[in-house]
Every structure is written in structure tokens, then in C-alpha cells.
Amino acid sequence: MKRFSICFLFVLFTYPCIAFGQGAPSSTGEIYGTVYQVDPERPVASVQIRIVETNQRARTDQNGEFRFPNLSPGQYTLTASASGYQPPEDVVVTIEQGETIQLKIYLEQVAVELDEVEVTGERAASPVGRQTLSSAEIQRVPGSTGDALRALQALPSVGVANDFSGALYIRGGSDEDNLYYFDRVPIGYPYHFGGIVSSLSSEVIERIDVYAGGYGAEFGVDSQAVIDIYSRNKNTDGFRAKLNLNVLYSEGLLEGKISNQGYWYFAGRRSYIDLFLGSLAFDSGEITAFPRFWDYQLKGGYDLNDKHQLSLNIFASGDSFALKLDGEDVDQDFRGNVSFESGFEGGGIHLRSRFTDRLTSFLSLTRSDFQFDVRAGPEISLTIDAPDYLLREDLTYTLNPKHQLETGVIFGFETGRAVGTGNRPPDEGEVDYDFRLAERQTFDESVSSRRMEVYLQDRYRVLPFLSVALGLRVDYFSLVDEFSIQPRGSLLLDIMEGSQLQLSYGNYHQVPGPPRLTQSVGNPDLTTSEASHYVLEFTRQVSEGTEFKFAGYYKDLAHLVTNDEDMKYLNQGVGFAQGMEVFLRHRAGDRFLGWGSYTYGVSKRRDRPEEPYRYYSFDQTHVATLAATYRLTPTWEIGLKWQYRTGNPYTPELGVTRIIDRRNGEPIYIPIYGDINSERLPPYHRLDVKISKAFRFNSWEMSLFLELLNAYNRKNLLTYSYSDDYDEDDREVIYYDGDEREEIYQFPIIPYLGITTEF
């Protein structure tokens, strides 16, 4: 069960829904490192790094960085060699399941000149569809204001609806199709107020992996895309503190060591506009409690011995505001006091174990809880409390360096209750929904469900140039009393030096949200929806600092939940999403990082068998992004990001029909719509500029940054607003002549200033 949103609620609020679906994070590990020259200290490019046990090889790029992904848990020995440098001592590391090892290797120059020898070897493959942003890259992406999840919008295949929303649309899907993890704990509330900022501090994030589709059996239920967020899990430098102040909020980070065997950190944020603006009047009423948000993250880890590592993480977030509506243009059901509160709590205890060099385990017990409370006017209310408990075990067994087996089992227990009075929420594409005409209900709905997930996956390097991964996932959901069998697999070909071709297929199931399964407004006989992904990817390491990637995909969607003419939910919808992505990234030492990407995609749905296909509301045909950051000096940096997106599809409003409001006998006007999503808003484009300056002192640092969002003040259209002033018109049906429409725009140019101190 992925969403708990028994929200018979008014359209004034677009509320977040809780994500329940969980699968197992990656069961492999990776080694990431940087090679430095000792004196003077600087990164060293073109150093050959070799893993003795597997004979995998990699060369450092111009930043001195190298990476070995998809390594089976176990012990590895790394060697380093480069012309003109003394070979260092071998580095021995132990990788646990899902762990990323970070290394620093130092080389000393020698006077003897050696002939240059070109060495080739196997280049480790990234999982199909995975894109990664490191913490350093997140901080450097212009236009994100340092926010981790907003930085993802610069990646190919990832889109958003508008400037006000952070919800990610990945390969033609909606945010409902995404599954978010934070250190193996599912996140049901990744954004404050739906997208202003993410609900996790970027300061604690080590990296984010985005799986756009076609991924293996290790990730599970209720998703077609996965955002896997890893926080820092080591501390070798002792105590550290960091404070960030900007125009929207303040945040702090404290971290340290627990003897020589553990680590801890605590991070927290709070907005402070409400501290300066107690109330604010506007045309239709007054804001009585200005919007505010807060969040915190706490984590600790400890090595019990050389085979077992224990960690604990806890995090929470909350949003709230209140206002009073009393204007003449406010619907009678909303007049009066309006309040909104939402929050999320998550946490888990995790045990990594290395029983032998071949067998590793990752055991987790997690809890997450979503709370939501809204009141509006004299009658409308909704209160939700939805806790979720998970027990998860993942095992990895390495038969030999070329053959690995992975398996996992997950038991979940979920409870939830929603109490209130209101209407059912509108569905995607349901343009003729009108809150004033919808049936009002008082409800007290409870949900108690169980699920079990089991997966098995076999990774095997058949030949030096050929690898395969075959997986099978079986999930059981008590809400629909259904077992779902989901086969998945991928094929990797090393077609030439530095070039790889990957093919993948995956079958993915999603359970309808609980509101659609209730007796009151749903259909208890619904089953899971189904998606089949077909993905082709080509990657090419053009040079030490340049990477090229091409991807093509097709997603076939079946058994989608839509309503019939009697407003009954059925598994009758179908759809598809298809497209291609081109991505080119270049690094030049630590001074320059830039990339360009282009995405073409089409996403369509057919709601009922007798109807034609239409554009999905989250379809974005063309998305182009150019981004670059350049370090002018060791303390000055400038960055630019420009993005172009096709305008969102929308349903044109042609006119209105006058009817008598059954609530008060007064005339009201109901819109007349054209075909669903048959027109598009104008194209969206904007330029973001970031300038930062660092000041370094003996024992602390300070950084200033200025971002110009929408630097050339592009007027990007958000939506159209239509006049409702027809008091002097006695016609029953009124068609627009073009003067009734008003344009509503997104962000203008916004300067965003921040200061960071660290000691």
C-alpha cells in the first residue's frame, strides 16, 4: 500500500499523500575515491586503480576521482599505479550490503621517468536507469538554493509541474509513482507544503540515486521510479558544526565521533517568516498564522565488532498555517477559520552483518507515521493518522567474483484512520469535478493491512564482455488480497573500450490508494495496476572527464484505476509513456563541472474503453537543460543553469452554464470544458545564476552565496483564471469571447541570499 489519503477534501488544498510502498535498497556496494599527490597536494588524473580480487580497473578523471559500483559485499584489495609516482601500499576495504566506501589515496612523485603504458580493463557498470548526484554536486547546482531534491530537477528524465511544486515527474509518470527512501526508511512527505523545499536537510545527504525505470528486483512495491537518499555514515574528522542562514529558513548541523568505532550527527531547520509576520490581510480575508515549517534528522552508528555494525536514524518534519476567509468571493463552505497542519515521523534501527567473506546481511526494523489535520469553515474537516511498521532482511551471497545471489523478505503492517466531513478529491483528468456539486459525506474510515514481499536476483558475468541479471519479485497485499509476480532482468554488453550497452525489462505493480478501496466512495474489488518497462541505454566514456549517455524507454500501463460514467472506480484505464534522453557531462579538474541534456517524451492515458487516448496531465514533450559551474579562484565560484520545457497540457474552459445552487437558491456558474488536456500552456524557460564566495580562517570558514532565480525575469504562465461576474447576464449558457481570461504567472526574478559558517 503506497498512499494513505482518505481525503474527502475541498480543492482549496492540494494535500500530500503518504507513501507506504517499500522495497529493498541496493544489495550491492560501491567504492568511491580520490587520488591526491602528496606535495603539493592536488588531484591526480589518469591513475590506474585495480581491484585484485575481480581484476576490475578504473582510471581517475581530471578530479582524481574513481568509482567501482555494483560490488558484492566482501573484502577487496585496491592497487594504484601511475607514471611518475611511487606505488602506494595496497588498500584493503570491506564492503557491506548497500554501503559506499569513500577513500583517499596519496601518491609520492619519483624522479625516474617511466615509459607510458596504456592499460585496459573492465569498466564497472551503473545499474540501468540510475543517475547519481553527490553532496558536492547538489551544493553546486544553480537554481536549487542548495536544496537536495530540487537539484534533481536538473537531471534528464526528471520534470516538475511549476516553480511552486517540487513533486517530480519521471519519464511520463506522476509523483504518485515515485518511491522515496532515506537510509532505508520510506519517506511519505518529501516536501514542505508540497514543494517549497524538501523535508530533509541537504547538509546530511551524502548522495541521491535516482532510478528512472527498468530497475531490478531489489526495489519493490508501488513504484515506477525510486529516489534513494543516503545520508553520511562516517566521521573521521571529529566534531564539526555548520550553520546556514538564508532568506527562507535557518539550519544547523552538529556531528562527531563515538570513540573510534562510531559516529553521530544532528541537523535541524526552521523557517522564520512567521516570527516577523504575525498576520497579513488580503482581499478575501486574513492570514492569522503565517506558514511555517521545521524538520530534523538524527543518526548514530557504531561498529560492534569487525563483523557487525549497528545504526539508528530518526527524522521528522512539520508544516502549519492558519487564515480567516470572509470575502464575498469566498464560497460559503469555506468562510470562517481555516487551519492546516501536517507532519511526518520516520525512524529505524539497522544491523549490517558480514557472517563470512561471501555472506552478508542487512536487517532493518522501521516505523513511519504521517499526520494530517485540516479545518475549513463551519463543517469541512479531515484528520489522518497513518503509522506503518516494517521488518526487512536482505541477504547477499557471492559464489565467486563473477556470480552473486541476492534475496530479501519484507513484512509490513500498516494502520490508518481518517475522520472528517467533506467530499472525495478529484482524480487526474477529472476536469468537470466541482466541489459545490459533489456529495458531502461524514466519514470515519479505518484501514488495517498487511503485506509480504520476497525477491530473488542472480547477477552473473557470463563472459568478459557480457553480464546478466535475472530477478523475480513476489508481493502480497491484504488490501486487495492478491499475489503479484513481477519478473525483471537486464543484459550488459561491453561493445568497445569505454562503451557499454544495457537492455532491461521490468514488471511493476501498484496498489490503489485506500480511498479508492473504501465502501463509501471507492470499490473494494479493485486490483493492482501494472506497468511493463522496456529500456535501452548506451554509455560512453569519451575521455577522462567526459561522459555521454543515451537512453530510450517504453512503458506499457494496464489496469489503471479510473471511474466510469456512474463515478464507480474500475481497473479499466490503460496508457503508455515513451521517450528518449541524451546526456553529456564534462569535468575539468575541480574547477569546471558542466552538463547538457535533452529529453523527448510522450505520456498518454485512456480512461475508459470507448474513449480515445489523451495526454496525461504530467506529459512534458521536450525538456532541455544546460548547467555549468566554474571556480574562478579557490574562493570564488559562478554557476549558470538554463532550462526549457514544453508547456503543461491543460483543458480549455469554453464557457459557463448557469444553475441554481441547491445550498442557498442563488445562481452559480459551472464551467463548460473542451477536450481533456487538448491544449498546452506556452513554453517554460528560465535562467538561474549562482555566485559564491568563501572566506577561510584559521579554525573556521564562512561562505556567502547569491542566487538569481529566473534571472532574465521570464513571465512563465502558471494557469488561466476566468471571470465569474455574470450578474447582468441572464443567459443560461454563456460562451467566452476571449475577454474573460486572466493569466497567472510563476516566479518573477528572485534574489536568494545565504550565508554559511563552518567550524
What is the CATH classification number for the domain harbouring 169?
Answer: 2.170.130.10
**Residue 42 and residue 98 share a domain:** yes
Altogether, the residues listed in the chain come to a count of: 759
Report yes or no on 732 lying in a domain: yes
Contact 274, 291 (CB under 8 A): yes
The residue ranges of the chain whose pLDDT is under 70 are: 1-27, 39-41, 62, 83, 110-126, 236, 727-729
Q: CA 212, CA 174: separation in Å to the nearest integer?
A: 12
Neighbouring CB atoms inside 10 A of 524's CB total 12
User: CA-to-CA distance for 270 and 268, rounded, in angstroms?
Assistant: 7
> What single-letter DSSP state applies at residue 333?
G
Residue with the three cell numbers 526508511: 185
Is 116 inside any structural domain?
Answer: no
**Tell me, what's the pLDDT at 644?**
97
> Domain check: are 137 and 218 in the same one?
yes
C-alpha 9 chain-centroid distance? 26
For residue 748 the three cell numbers come to 518573477
Q: How many CB atoms lie within 10 A of CB 489?
A: 20
Q: Are strands 100-109 and 29-37 parallel, antiparallel or unpaired?
A: parallel
Amino acid at 411: F
- Cα(125)–Cα(219) distance, rounded to whole angstroms? 18
d(CA 394, CA 409): 7
Indicate if 581 and 702 belong to the same structural domain. Answer: yes
* Domain count of the fold of the chain: 3
In the block, residue with C-alpha cell 480549455:
652
Side-chain-side CA neighbours of residue 729 (13 Å) = 17
CA 530 vs. chain centroid, Å, equals 21
Give the residue among 39, 88, 40, 34 at the shortest CA–CA distance from 61.
Answer: 34
Torsion, Cα 110 114 120 122, to 10 degrees, reads -20
Smallest CA-to-CA distance from 560 within 224, 187, 158, 218 is with 224
Residues forming a β-bridge with 687: 642
**Residue 10 domain flag:** yes
Q: Would you say residue 114 lies in a domain?
A: no
- Whether residues 698 and 555 share a domain: the answer is yes
Unique residue bearing C-alpha cell 541524451 = 582
Same-domain check for residues 605 and 654: yes
pLDDT at 434: 83
Q: What are phi and psi of 445, to 5 degrees?
A: -105, 135
Residue among 10, 129, 177 at smallest CA distance from 534:
129
- First and final C-alpha spacing in the chain: 44
Helices (H), 92-199: 135-140, 148-151
Q: Please answer whether residues 58 and 30 qualify as being in contact, where contact means their C-beta atoms are separated by less than 8 angstroms.
A: no
pLDDT for position 60? 85
Beta pairing, strands 262-271 & 717-722: unpaired
Cα 418–chain centre separation: 26
Residue 296 corresponds to which cell in the numbers above? 530534523
Q: How many C-beta atoms lie closer than 10 Å to residue 179's C-beta?
A: 24
d(CA 297, CA 346): 9
Q: Are residues 408 and 422 in the same domain?
A: yes
Q: Provide the β-strand partners of residue 85.
A: 109
Q: Are residues 11 and 52 in the same domain?
A: no
Report CA-CA distances (Å) from 689 to 137, 141, 237.
Answer: 15, 10, 33
- Taking a C-beta distance cutoff of 8 angstroms, is the pair 439, 662 a contact? no
Question: DSSP E strands: which ranges in 26-129?
Answer: 29-37, 42-43, 48-51, 57-59, 65-71, 74-81, 85-86, 91-95, 100-109
Cell, residue 333: 463552505
Query: Which of 98, 8, 119 shows the shortest CA–CA distance to 55?
Result: 119
**Same-domain status, 36 and 16:** no
Same domain, 726 and 688: yes
Query: Which residues does 85 contact at the CB level (< 8 Å), separation at least 6?
Result: 37, 44, 47, 107, 108, 109, 110
C-alpha grid cell, residue 81: 599505479
Residue 644: its H or E element:
strand 636-645
Is residue 155 domain-shared with residue 47, that is, in the same domain?
no
**Boundary of a domain, candidates 49, 79, 109:** 109
Note whether residue 125 is domain-resident. no
For residues 254 and 173, membership in a common domain is answered with: no
Nearest CA-CA partner of 265 in 203, 318, 190, 182: 203
121 falls within a domain: no
Q: What is the CATH number of the domain that holds 99?
A: 2.60.40.1120
Dmax (CA) for the chain in angstroms is: 96
Residue 33 CA to residue 104 CA, distance in Å, equals 6
Show which of 231, 265, 284 is a domain's final residue: 231
Q: Is 18 within a domain?
A: yes
Pick the last residue of a domain from 45, 80, 109.
109
Residues 503, 535: contact at Cβ < 8 Å?
yes
Q: Report the distance separating Cα 321 and Cα 539, nearest Å.
A: 47
Rounded distance, CA 613 to CA 172, Å? 15
Please tell me the predicted confidence (pLDDT) of residue 416.
87
What whole-number distance in Å separates Cα of residue 746 and Cα of residue 673? 24
| Same domain, yes or no: 532 and 572 | yes
**What's the confidence (pLDDT) of residue 236?**
66
For 725, which DSSP code?
-
Distance (Å, rounded) from C-alpha 681 to C-alpha 700? 49
CA distance 231 to 350: 14
What pLDDT is stored for residue 24 in this prediction?
Answer: 46
Question: What is the structure's pLDDT at 456?
Answer: 97
In a domain, 104, yes or no: yes
SS (H, E, C) 591-643: CEEEEEEEEEEEEEEECCCCCCCEECCCCCCEEEEEEEEEECCCCEEEEEEEE
Domain enclosing residue 191, as ranges: 130-231
In CATH, what number is assigned to the domain containing residue 496? Answer: 2.40.170.20
Taking CA atoms, 58 is separated from 81, 109, 435, 592, in Å, by: 11, 21, 60, 21
Q: Which of helix, strand or coil describes residue 379?
A: coil
pLDDT of residue 605: 97
